[in-house]
Chain A
């Protein structure tokens, strides 16, 4: 079994709990556009952090694997542009604080941590969002971006590098990092839930 699969198997319960987060169900119902756009502002904070962290890791990634990381940066840049176009200004700082809790100990601690955090976060969102059936057009556009064929191909290509990162980090360290990413994603969705429910 590949190291990434072993890691996911070892943390399946926490992973599945986060995938049942009530925020995801709320996304399927009627959602006030202004509130959802504020949520996109939070997302921009997280993606901006990830972009900065991964950019610094590029030169550290072993030769032969840098291309897939540079591709990830292009994807993240496109995503940040979209989020900043639709997300409301002025809400980014709160989102950033939540994102900081997830990534501050991960990015900047070597390429292995950056790669694992990015792959785990993207995979969790992919798994959690792809089964949803949002009613609202903007929510559907967001979901389609996170679950597109491009993202699926990226997760596949990036898994190889993540396997390498896992071998270097060891399962215990990687498991700790995964647990923090999963918990951090849950915190971000807690924020999103409060935001969307406040607007109802």
Chain B
């Protein structure tokens, strides 16, 4: 079994909770444009924080896999710019800003952890959103970006890098880190639910 599959097995409960989180269904049910723009501002801040985590580890990953990390960085930067444009300058909420501030840039040696966590968070996002289909046109554009064939192909390539990382990354550390990522994503979507209204 691939190391990424082993990790998913070991965090199966947390993974299931993220996939059953009410946020994607709330998005699909229809949301107000103003609340959705605030959510996009929050996502822009997350993408920017993630870019700050990925950038320093690109040169540390082994060839040819560092190319995948460089592509991830390019994706995050492009995504942050698109999200900011869509959010039309709405600043993220103070609570979200404080939460994102805890995402400190990783030391350059931590490519294995960054690669694994990026793959895990990206995969959870992809699968949770792909399970719904939003009605609102403005939500659809966002949803299509998160669930496109390009993202699927990218996550497929990224899983190879995560497999390599996990083979060199002790499971005793990877499992609690993975749990934190999934709990962080669920907490982030809790914030989103607050913005969109129940």
Contact = CB atoms under 8 A, between A and B. Distances in A.
Interface in B28-80: 48, 51-52, 55-59, 63-64, 66-67, 69-71, 73-74, 76-78, 80
Interface SS, B side: helix
Contacts of B63: 80-81, 84-85
A85 to B, nearest CB: 8
A77 B58 contact: yes
Interface SS, A side: helix
B81 interface: yes
Interface centre among B51, B66, B108 (most CB of A within 10 A): B66
B66 to A, nearest CB: 5
B84 interface: yes
Interface size class, chain A = 20 to 34
Contact of A77 (B55, B57, B70): B70
Given A55-B56, A80-B63, A81-B63, A70 B73 contact: yes
Given A63-B84, A81-B64, A58 B59 contact: no
B187 interface: no
A77 B57 CA distance: 12
B78 A52 contact: no
A171 B94 CA distance: 40
Interface string A24-39: 0000000000000000
A48 B73 contact: no
B103 to A, nearest CB: 12
Interface residues of B, number: 25
Interface in A47-64: 48, 51-52, 55-56, 58-59, 63-64
A92 to B, nearest CB: 13
A167 interface: no
B105 interface: yes
Interface of A: 48, 51-52, 55-56, 58-59, 63-64, 66-67, 69-71, 73-74, 76-78, 80-81, 84-85
30 contacts: A51-B58, A52-B59, A52-B108, A55-B55, A55-B56, A55-B58, A55-B59, A55-B73, A56-B55, A58-B51, A58-B55, A58-B73, A58-B77, A59-B51, A59-B55, A63-B80, A66-B77, A67-B77, A70-B78, A73-B55, A73-B73, A73-B74, A74-B67, A74-B73, A76-B70, A77-B66, A77-B69, A77-B70, A81-B66, A84-B63
